[in-house]
Structure 1
Amino acid sequence: MNQSTKKTVLILGANSDVAKQAIKQYIEKGFSVIAASRNTKSLDEFVQENNFGSKVKVLSFDSVDFDSHQKFYDELPIKPHIVVYAAGFLIDNEKALNDFNGAQQMMFVNYMGAVSILNIIATDKNNKNLKRIIGLSSLSGVRGRKSNFVYGSTKAAFTTYLAGLRQELVSRNIKVNALVIGYIRTKINEGLQLNESLIMEPEYVAKHIVNAGNSFTIVPNFKWKLIYLILKVLPEVLVAKLP
C-alpha cells in the first residue's frame, strides 16, 4: 500500500497509554497516523523508539485551547478518514467538589474540548475521506454515583453528544462510536484502589478502538458489559447505595 492510498487516522490526545497502543495497531493495519497532543516530546520519543518514521506525524494539539482548534484542523497535512478523541482528565471527586478549577478542567478536556474540535471536523462536508469518529467515554457516565459523579457527568455529556452526532452524520454514511470503558491499567488510574480482576490492559482496549464496528456503544470485556447493563436498569434506590 503506497502513501497515496493509505487511510489516515487522527488521534487527539494521543499521548495516553491506550492511544499509543491504538497507534501501533492502526499502523499494523496499514493506516498512517496523525498523533496530536500537548506533549509532543513524549510522542516524538514514542515514534522514534518504535521506528515508525513517516507512518506517524506528530502535531501539537491542546484540547482546552478552543480558539486554536479551527487553525489546527485547517492545517492538517491530510484530512482524516477516522478520528479518535482520546483526551481525558481525572481528579478525585472530593477534590472536584472543593476545587472548581479541577472540576472545570475535567469539563474542558473530557467534554468541551471534544465538542469544539469534533464539531469542526464533523461539519467539514468537503472532507470526503471521513468515515468514522470514535470517542473514548466511561462507565462512570452511565449513572451518577457519589464516588465520581463530577467526572462521570463529563463522560455522560460526551456520550450524549456522540449519540446525537451519530444521528447527525448518518445521512453522510459516517459512523460514530462511543467506547464506554471501565478500569484500565494507565497513568490516569495510578494510585487508585481498583479491583484487579476488572482492570483491562491498554492493548486490549485499543483493539476495540481499531476494530470498531457498527454498534454505537462499545463496552470492552464481558465483565464490564454485564456491569454496564446492570447500571442501566438498576433502581435509583440501589444506585444510591453504590460507592
Structure 2
Amino acid sequence: MEKNTNKTVLILGANSDVAKQCIIQYLEKGFSVIAASRNTTSLDNFIREKSLQASKVMVLYFDAEDFDSHQKFYDNLPIKPHIVVYAAGFLVDNEKALKDFKGAKQMMMVNYMGGVSILNIIAMDESNTHLERIIGLSSLSGVRGRKSNFVYGSTKAAFTQYLAGLRQELASRKIIVNALVIGYIRTKINKGLQLNESLIMEPDYVAKFIVNARNSFTIVPNFKWKIIYHILRILPESLVSKLP
C-alpha cells in the first residue's frame, strides 16, 4: 500500500463509528490525522484501546453547532490539511422531529449548517495550497423525500447540493469534492432501528470508500445500494409516495 507520509487529513465529527475506522485506515496509508469532535475523551480512549500511533494522531475539540468557534478552530490548526472529511451527523426519529422542532433544528445544524460553516472557511483559505480533497458524508435519505424520514433526509439533500456546488467552485484550484451517499451502517446512530440486515454495511467497509476516494463526485458504497440509489432517482413520485 502506497504511503503518504507527509500528508495530513482533518476528520470533523471524528467520534462516529465510520470516522474512527477512517482514522485507522488513513494511518495505515501513512497520513497524519487530526481527529476533531466534541467527545475528545472517547477519541483518546479509542486511540489507546486500538494502540494507534499517538504521534501521528492529534485530538482536538470541535463543535459543529458552535458556528462562531469555527474560524478560530481552523486558524489554530497546527498544520492545514491536505484532505478534509466532514463526518459529523445527528439523527432523531421523523415523528419526533415533526412534533418537536428542537430535534429537527439540531439535525439541520449538525448535518448541514455546521458543514457549510466550517467547509466554507477551509475552502476559501487559498493560502492552503496543498488542500487537495474535501469529502462530505451524506445519505440515500437525501435522494428523494420519503414520509418515514424526510426531515433528516432534507438536511442530507441540502448538504449534497452544497457539496456539488463547492466542487464546481473549487475545480479551478484542482481541489476534488466528493459526496459519500451512504445507506444503512451498523453504527450507534442506527442502534434500535428496524433495518434490513442484508443491506447493513460495516463501518470499516464504508471507511474504505472514503479513504480511497477518487474523482467521481457521488460515491455510493455497495452494489446493492448503488442499485437502490439509481432506482430512487428515477422512480415516479406516485411510487415514491408508496414507500415507507
TM-score, normalised by the number of residues in structure 1: 0.98
Runs of 4+ in structure 1 off by over 2 angstroms are: none
* Equivalent residue, structure 2, for 1:230: 231
Give the letter for the 1:31 counterpart: F
* Equivalent residue, structure 2, for 1:49: 49
Q: Partner of 1:229: helix, strand, or coil?
A: helix
Tell me how far apart the structure 1 counterparts of residues 202 and 222 of structure 2 sit (CA, whole Å).
11
Alignment of 1:17-36 (within 5 A): 17-36=17-36
Paired positions, count: 240
Tell me how far apart the structure 2 counterparts of residues 32 and 50 of structure 1 sit (CA, whole Å).
16
Give the letter for the 1:48 counterpart: R
Tell me how far apart the structure 2 counterparts of residues 22 and 86 of structure 1 sit (CA, whole Å).
10
Tell me how far apart the structure 1 counterparts of residues 130 and 192 of structure 2 sit (CA, whole Å).
41
Give the letter for the 2:63 counterpart: D
* Equivalent residue, structure 1, for 2:67: 66
Superposed displacement of residue 50, structure 1: 2.3
Superposed displacement of residue 49, structure 1: 1.7
- Asked whether 1:138 is paired with 2:139, we answer yes
Give the letter for the 1:153 counterpart: S
Q: Partner of 2:242: helix, strand, or coil?
A: coil
1:31-80 C-alpha deviation (Å, 9 max, x unpaired): 00000000000001111122321110000000000000000000001000
Give the letter for the 1:38 counterpart: R
* Equivalent residue, structure 2, for 1:95: 96
Please tell me whether the aligned partners of residues 25 and 208 of structure 2 are also in contact (alpha carbons under 8 angstroms). yes
1:75-103 C-alpha deviation (Å, 9 max, x unpaired): 00100000000000000000000000000
Please tell me whether the aligned partners of residues 5 and 32 of structure 2 are also in contact (alpha carbons under 8 angstroms). no
* Equivalent residue, structure 2, for 1:186: 187
* Equivalent residue, structure 2, for 1:112: 113
Bigger shift: residues 46-55 or 78-87? 46-55
- Asked whether 1:85 is paired with 2:98, we answer no
Give the letter for the 1:64 counterpart: E
- Asked whether 1:207 is paired with 2:196, we answer no
Give the letter for the 1:16 counterpart: S
Structure 1: state its 5+ residue gaps. none
Q: Partner of 2:91: helix, strand, or coil?
A: coil
Tell me how far apart the structure 2 counterparts of residues 5 and 180 of structure 1 sit (CA, whole Å).
28
Structure 2: state its 5+ residue gaps. none
Tell me how far apart the structure 2 counterparts of residues 182 and 27 of structure 1 sit (CA, whole Å).
25
1:176-235 C-alpha deviation (Å, 9 max, x unpaired): 000000000000000000000000000000000000000000000000000000000000
- Asked whether 1:217 is paired with 2:218, we answer yes
Tell me how far apart the structure 2 counterparts of residues 135 and 145 of structure 1 sit (CA, whole Å).
22
* Equivalent residue, structure 2, for 1:161: 162
Alignment root-mean-square deviation, CA? 0.9
Q: Work out the percentage of aligned pairs sharing the same amino acid.
A: 82
* Equivalent residue, structure 1, for 2:8: 8
Superposed displacement of residue 5, structure 1: 5.4
Give the letter for the 1:9 counterpart: V
- Asked whether 1:126 is paired with 2:127, we answer yes
TM-score, normalised by the number of residues in structure 2: 0.97
Give the letter for the 1:37 counterpart: S
